[in-house]
């Protein structure tokens, strides 16, 4: 089955800097890759997603890139702000199931 690895597990950046989180997946048939943000004590919420027919997608300060050949995808957050502090999960969809990475705890220091 699908296996998703996510790095790093923790990431600390200064406000205004960029943050990059990377994920790899194992199932070449996976075709949908969402990213979820989970604030402390809250539910995971979708922030951006990408499908396998697209290499890059951007939404304001957030962008996701996908390399199907290498089977990895990344989340890029530019001009980070303290409210970006949260746990971020990547996921890959394989046979209608989302398989989640282990999460990255991002801390943005003012």
Partner 1 sequence: DAGVIQSPRHEVTEMGQEVTLRCKPISGHNSLFWYRQTMMRGLELLIYFNNNVPIDDSGMPEDRFSAKMPNASFSTLKIQPSEPRDSAVYFCASSLGSTYEQFFGPGTRLTVL
**Phi, then psi, of 36 in degrees rounded to 5:** -115, 145
Query: Residues 77-96: x/- map of binding to partner 1 (CB under 8 A)?
Result: ------------x---x-xx
Rank residues 44 and 80 by Cβ distance to partner 1 and give the closer one: 44
- Minimum Å gap between C-beta 96 and partner 1 is 4
Return the SS3 of 35. strand
List 19, 23, 24, 34, residue binding partner 1 (CB under 8 A): 34
CB 25 within 8 A of CB 92: yes
Return the SS3 of 23. strand
List 50, 99, 106, 108, residue binding partner 1 (CB under 8 A): 99
Is 74 a residue that touches partner 1 (CB under 8 A)?
A: no
End-to-end C-alpha distance for the chain, whole angstroms = 41
Task: Give the binding site for partner 1 (CB under 8 A).
Answer: 32, 34, 36, 42-46, 49, 89, 93, 95-103
């Amino acid at each position: 089955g699908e296996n998703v690895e996510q790095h790093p597990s923790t990431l600390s950046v200064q406000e205004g800097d960029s943050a990059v989180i990377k994920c790899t997946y194992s199932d070449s048939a996976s075709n949908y890759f969402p990213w979820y943000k989970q604030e402390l004590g809250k539910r995971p919420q979708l922030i951006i997603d990408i499908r396998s027919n697209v290499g890059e997608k951007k939404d304001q300060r957030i962008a996701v890139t996908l390399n199907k050949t290498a089977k990895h995808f990344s989340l890029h957050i530019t001009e980070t702000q303290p409210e970006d502090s949260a746990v971020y999960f990547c996921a890959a969809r394989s046979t209608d199931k989302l398989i989640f990475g282990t999460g990255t705890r991002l801390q943005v220091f003012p």
